[in-house]
Structure 1
């Protein structure tokens, strides 16, 4: 099962504590079920009860018991599986031996003994982060490096695709791998085999912890609406402006690497909190493409409808189509700065009024319908950089 232990692994912890957390949760559950069964045990069931007790004892024994591996994650989970298999066999035998124990549902017996599968003997799959149209994104532990990673598994098995789809799937995977690798965010890739023996692509990449910018801006909007303190409003204003500037810088680093993202939007920009500061980090490389590959690509309408440049799909994706999507993204920040709470601030301070006008000019330039007249990301950065908001230092990762 690809999602074994997804309900029990505390994925935010380092590898070893996460494994022990899973162990503790499972052993507690098994112990409770066994205690319920043994409470009704009479003399006829002594032998079965004793055998079950041996396995329960191993499960709830001390963490440093001689027969419990504590340092090797794979060995520990294999050992756990052996214990659970023993518990399952004894409980099943028990049910066959005495139907009086039918108060232990059979699904509970199955539930306490999931099979553990390591992908490529390296990645331990955890809980689901998100389910998209073509793939599922999970947390996973890279047991080689004790690192929590993002683990994406395709929905469609290779055996279920025709030759055209196979070629397209392989091409898209190779593009994503190339982008992740170039920017140091690739952790692994290959195939997984499911219960039916079908094969699916997977890509493991750096896990960016935080929340997407869309959600972050919604919370910021709520805070602004409730706030009347002038100093707090100044901080909010400067924060929004610096987010817009960071957004452009983050996009530009991929353009500098000769990549076009093709699906720029606040939902694909993660906000990473670092003490009182924030940093932005672009995610979702599934549509990223190198400039030299654009003319061979037939997916000209790739992206999210609201953010797709007006020249698409008649034209090809380019840096300026990314620029248009960036402009649509920054427009939300401009709308926040139009709130009545900021009008007084802008009216009495040329600094804040100038910052507002520069962001407005940037958004207008990025969203020009005619691609030849549209400004590029470096030009947007130059416009914004002429205003420095230093209350919240800009951080880049």
Structure 2
């Protein structure tokens, strides 16, 4: 255990000039799906994250500044329609200027955040562009930086450190599974939602992140000197650079000081290049050999033998300390029952549920369901497999469930046809009906689909909402409308919309 006496100096940055528009480090994940029939439609939360038209102040009330940096600032804001709090990162166009590298970096962050769907990665809701600024609207994390909490608490036990590291490693494992490398993991980029040891951790700031090709090593230097991996300094690295950064973070959590320290950035870099560290000093006297062993595996100088994020999640130290975490079995039981009873047949119902679950769900309920999701996600990869769902039912006494039963559950919940239950799909299927489908949420969702504000949703509007990623014939969008259009006028009004949604969970208490 230890108190935190250091935070990385913002001057200790290592960045090189590069043209991200041509660099091999960045490989776009964006893909267009061609749809021939309505049955082929699938829905991802990324469908609803897009560039919004108009003045951002028409939709948000700015309350206070959370952070100020060289690029601009982050402010707390209130959505005028939903009354939900959001953090809005405003970037000056003057700062970016005509520099194509900075432009590419900015849009890379948007592209990556659109594709991520994980309880420990900050969520991007939408973004705006006006004459002077770009605005990224993300979830608001009220607890501040993880290290601020540790400084306040003055000490950190191994079970608490493991609880936070498990969340961080889960986010990193998810990123690496999806060919995303963060490249700037550090305490300042880890926020918590409450000043509590039970807090949910969120990884933020994907501005230096990139999609990568697992067969091609990256060559561009990025990072912060305390946390940068030695192979990044050699300009020949892969996703394992993130594991090195995690190892540095764990070292600091347990000792209160970094493994590679110095009075200047060049001095720190020289020590990183050597890769030599020790567990000497009184701060390490009470730390278990298991914890030190994991740190050594994460700070292995050779990235080829360095532990992966998935391997770190199954390390004995993480598993042992997980037993100290209090589980709410009642919450998990309710979540499993809701998974079992989830039934949605119409495509538009699935789309609207995805929108509500990803954009406007109750934050406190999401936090609780996120804990149940993490408990079921035994390998920590940020998605639930058939085996993990089956194991969860067995653990809580559901021995009567067969493999086919689980396959039926996943088929119902898996709205994007990935073969797994993703985080947003889990929220969508397990949230309380009265919370998910309250009048406020339904009306907000209706307005999101009713783009022209006419009071009715047309096939053209559905095409506009989904058409950037889902290319389908006009007949497909008309079929979606016809499933719900009770009066036969070719559009969906608010009454029809509410009726469509409120009957979804009739079999659920």
Rate the CA distance shift 1:219–1:187 in 2: closer, same or farther, 3 A.
same
Determine which of 158, 172, 175 is the counterpart of 2:105. 172
Output the CA distance in 2 between the equivalents of 1:123 and 1:200.
15
Output the CA distance in 1 between the equivalents of 2:104 and 2:58.
26
Output the CA distance in 2 between the equivalents of 1:152 and 1:295.
32
**TM-score, reference length from structure 2:** 0.44
The residue that corresponds to 1:371 in the other structure is: 303
Output the CA distance in 1 between the equivalents of 2:283 and 2:229.
32
Which of structure 1's runs of 4+ aligned residues deviate more than 4 A?
293-298, 336-343, 394-397
Q: 5+ residue gaps in structure 1?
A: 1-116, 194-198, 225-235, 347-352
Output the CA distance in 1 between the equivalents of 2:73 and 2:204.
15
Provide the secondary structure at the position in 1 that maps to 2:74: strand
The residue that corresponds to 2:65 in the other structure is: 128
Residue 280 of structure 1, CA deviation: 1.4
Q: Are 1:325 and 2:253 counterparts? A: no
Q: 5+ residue gaps in structure 2?
A: 1-53, 118-122, 257-278, 328-370, 375-422, 424-509
Residue 291 of structure 1, CA deviation: 1.5
The residue that corresponds to 1:201 in the other structure is: 134
The residue that corresponds to 2:128 in the other structure is: 190
Q: Check the 8 A contact 1:250/1:280 in 2, yes or no.
A: no
Determine which of 230, 234, 241 is the counterpart of 1:314. 234
More helix by percentage:
1
Q: Check the 8 A contact 2:221/2:235 in 1, yes or no.
A: no
Count of residues paired in the alignment: 249
Alpha-carbon displacement from aligned partner over 1:302-351 (angstroms, at most 9, x marks no partner): 221111111124325531011111110111123269996995xx6xxxxx
Provide the secondary structure at the position in 2 that maps to 1:189: strand
Rate the CA distance shift 1:330–1:291 in 2: closer, same or farther, 3 A.
same
The residue that corresponds to 2:168 in the other structure is: 247
The residue that corresponds to 2:97 in the other structure is: 161
Alpha-carbon displacement from aligned partner over 1:138-185 (angstroms, at most 9, x marks no partner): 112222332211111113427x723xx1x2233122211122222352
Determine which of 381, 386, 392 is the counterpart of 2:313. 381
Q: Check the 8 A contact 1:241/1:359 in 2, yes or no.
A: no
> For 1:1-397, what aligned pairs fall within 5 Å after superposition?
118-119=55-56, 121-157=58-94, 161-162=97-98, 165=99, 167-184=100-117, 185-193=123-131, 199-220=132-153, 222-223=154-155, 236-273=157-194, 277-292=198-213, 300-316=220-236, 318-335=238-255, 356-383=288-315, 384-393=317-326, 395=371, 396=374
How large is the Cα RMSD of the aligned pairs?
Answer: 3.3
Output the CA distance in 1 between the equivalents of 2:113 and 2:231.
28
1 or 2 for the larger relative contact order (CA 8 Å, sep ≥6)?
A: 2
Larger Rg computed on CA atoms: 1
Q: Check the 8 A contact 1:262/1:317 in 2, yes or no.
A: no
**TM-score, reference length from structure 1:** 0.55
